[in-house]
Structure 1
């Protein structure tokens, strides 16, 4: 069973236009739809579409449109009442696949609701193979919420493996607890490397400055990592992300650098690269998977389907690289669907995906800074062995 926790679920509304967005003008939609969503919910929807056991855990009242939407599609879920409505997210899609998203912040969760969610996740995680902690955090929730969830889950006698798909400070905090898998996109990977002080070690910082007039953001690659740091400027962040998406080898070096830095760190990384496919990195191996070009309808939820496809492959006993091929096939299939659509196994063309092994830096990287304060460096009970495991913001 794959359990998901979505701390900030949403009712995802999609509006499809017949032409480009015209700012300040009235336009008529050619199609509109809505689905219960949020990153973890989307993962559960994709897992359920494959007729595999899943349970979505989320906050929300039983009569909230998100919860009634889950009832309508028959998705198994458990919730903690909040007394406030869940948010709505709006997506506008254009014929060329351009996607514009407007995400509400969500309603604050009280400390009692947060603790109840953690209790519910720990209770339901017993017997699960994977727990997915996904999406943004609502206002008032501390950045370490997912890290606390990891700690609670690992108190179980036989804890499941844990995947994290979020961004910014919550992702940094979650890495302190060494999840088994993280799924950043290119921008999130660049931000992680910057905060960890590993841009130079990953071969990005000097090259980035040589190719950009965006201005330097900091020079702390040799300093103590995961301390307050000047964020990357928007121009430099986009430039680095573009380079990562266009160069699987650079993405492999970036992910491997993070994996092999000393201290707490993820145990594997599934980095999604938009049209560039995805890179799967483990401490001593990396693979790239690429789907042929196709017509994109909506990219919303494609990253969630990518993660679902990967976990479906792993829990079916596939080797990690075969699970990566399924992941990219699922992401591509989702991008061909309207709204926050999730594919079925029949939609995912795994046979069309090209798999390529990539060279990675020697591990550990000599002289590399510590990636995180080490809280689990002696814990090897959750590491992947044998066939066991190893374009889009946190919504």
Structure 2
């Protein structure tokens, strides 16, 4: 199966979301009936795209009974998948809301250890699913054992097939992409803390963030860079120009899924041939929509379109 939008999740999860009266040590904490959702960066990007009216194929490494449960839940949601055998058992994660304080506690498991054969199997599956002009999205954490240069290796595979690669990653993999630029990377997204860490200085203003992004572009890190600045919106920098968009004022219920909704909407905007500024505003609106929802719920097209009217956009 070849896809126009292909999302990649090497370290998927089944997410359990619940609540308890108070989170305290040592005692047994009686929890509410959990909400169970498919999880992992690329999976949530594909789910968001479907909820926004688009279609994406989620390529997933799965293992064991948890992996089978994950595929069943995605099929129930109508998300197309391409699965390949990963090592071990697909992981599970849990988030718990303390009803007394409304604080959310998120417990994230590492996932199974990968080896070279697992990486080769994954790349072969990606090659088979990628065609000319496919938008390939790599999002989420890398599994233990996957080298930090995996996004660069993936960029070679994607570039050889005339596809465009969008990467939303963190940690050593992000630093490697910045320190050893790759010409085939179409878009790189990060948050403001990651940007400041890479810059080695604070980036207090939108203009500071744009200057940092433009420096990365001039060094050939990616054709476009997005930095999420939290409540101060997001900055998009390209060789053609830069934009800043701030989300609509909404009540924040949960930040889970906001970044994935952003990436999903931006990617769908590219697939719909929107101009860069409108892709950014669409993405910011989807993220605003996501934070209004409980637990691991994402966004929807009707609410996102409505919120777009209240999202600011200016060219820098």
Structure 1 unaligned segments of length 5 or more: list them: 195-204, 206-239, 359-395
What's the CA shift for 1:142?
Answer: 1.0
In the TM superposition, 1:137-152 aligns within 5 A as: 137-152=142-157
Query: Counterparts of 1:97 and 1:259 in 2: how far apart (Å)?
Result: 41
Query: Counterparts of 1:272 and 1:108 in 2: how far apart (Å)?
Result: 30
In the TM superposition, 1:284-323 aligns within 5 A as: 285-323=241-279
Q: Please tell me whether the aligned partners of residues 242 and 315 of structure 2 are also in contact (alpha carbons under 8 angstroms).
A: yes
Q: Please tell me whether the aligned partners of residues 5 and 134 of structure 1 are also in contact (alpha carbons under 8 angstroms).
A: yes
What's the CA shift for 1:62?
Answer: 7.1
Give the secondary-structure state (helix, strand or coil) at the position aligned to 2:250.
Answer: coil
- Per-residue deviation, residues 243-281 of structure 1 (Å, max 9, x unmatched): 64xx32332222223222x3x311111211222211111
The 1:152/1:26 distance shift into structure 2, 3 A limit, reads same
What's the CA shift for 1:29?
Answer: 4.1
Confirm whether residue 84 of structure 1 aligns to residue 88 of structure 2: yes
Query: Counterparts of 2:237 and 2:30 in 1: how far apart (Å)?
Result: 44
Provide the aligned length of Structure 1 versus Structure 2.
305
Paired residue for 1:231? none
Q: Relative to structure 2, which stretch is displaced further, 341-350 or 323-332?
A: 341-350
In the TM superposition, 1:25-36 aligns within 5 A as: 27-29=29-31, 32-36=34-38
What's the CA shift for 1:18?
Answer: 5.8
Confirm whether residue 254 of structure 1 aligns to residue 212 of structure 2: yes
In the TM superposition, 1:49-88 aligns within 5 A as: 49-61=51-63, 63=65, 64=67, 65-82=69-86, 84-88=88-92
Confirm whether residue 184 of structure 1 aligns to residue 190 of structure 2: yes
Give the secondary-structure state (helix, strand or coil) at the position aligned to 1:292.
Answer: coil
Q: Please tell me whether the aligned partners of residues 11 and 40 of structure 2 are also in contact (alpha carbons under 8 angstroms).
A: yes
Query: Counterparts of 1:313 and 1:43 in 2: how far apart (Å)?
Result: 13
The 1:41/1:128 distance shift into structure 2, 3 A limit, reads farther
Query: Counterparts of 1:140 and 1:68 in 2: how far apart (Å)?
Result: 27
The 1:66/1:285 distance shift into structure 2, 3 A limit, reads same
Structure 2 unaligned segments of length 5 or more: list them: none
Paired residue for 2:164? 161
Q: Please tell me whether the aligned partners of residues 297 and 337 of structure 1 are also in contact (alpha carbons under 8 angstroms).
A: yes
Give 1 or 2: higher strand fraction.
2
Match of 1:9 among 12, 21, 45: 12
Match of 1:339 among 280, 295, 302: 295
Give the secondary-structure state (helix, strand or coil) at the position aligned to 2:34.
Answer: strand
Give the secondary-structure state (helix, strand or coil) at the position aligned to 1:294.
Answer: coil
What's the CA shift for 1:31?
Answer: 6.0
Give the secondary-structure state (helix, strand or coil) at the position aligned to 1:188.
Answer: helix
Paired residue for 1:47? 49
Give 1 or 2: higher helix fraction.
2
Q: Please tell me whether the aligned partners of residues 34 and 339 of structure 1 are also in contact (alpha carbons under 8 angstroms).
A: no
Paired residue for 1:197? none
- Per-residue deviation, residues 308-335 of structure 1 (Å, max 9, x unmatched): 1111122212111011110000001011
Query: Counterparts of 2:236 and 2:102 in 1: how far apart (Å)?
Result: 26
Q: Please tell me whether the aligned partners of residues 168 and 189 of structure 2 are also in contact (alpha carbons under 8 angstroms).
A: yes
- Per-residue deviation, residues 33-83 of structure 1 (Å, max 9, x unmatched): 121110011000111123322111111137422222222222111111135
Query: Counterparts of 2:57 and 2:124 in 1: how far apart (Å)?
Result: 15
Give the secondary-structure state (helix, strand or coil) at the position aligned to 1:5.
Answer: strand
In the TM superposition, 1:258-277 aligns within 5 A as: 258-260=216-218, 262=219, 264-277=220-233
The 1:105/1:83 distance shift into structure 2, 3 A limit, reads closer
After superposition, the CA RMSD in angstroms is 2.2
Q: Please tell me whether the aligned partners of residues 52 and 300 of structure 2 are also in contact (alpha carbons under 8 angstroms).
A: yes
Confirm whether residue 102 of structure 1 aligns to residue 73 of structure 2: no
Q: Please tell me whether the aligned partners of residues 9 and 58 of structure 1 are also in contact (alpha carbons under 8 angstroms).
A: yes
What's the CA shift for 1:27?
Answer: 4.7
Confirm whether residue 193 of structure 1 aligns to residue 196 of structure 2: no
> Structure 2 length as normaliser, TM-score?
0.88
Query: Counterparts of 1:23 and 1:278 in 2: how far apart (Å)?
Result: 38
> Structure 1 length as normaliser, TM-score?
0.72
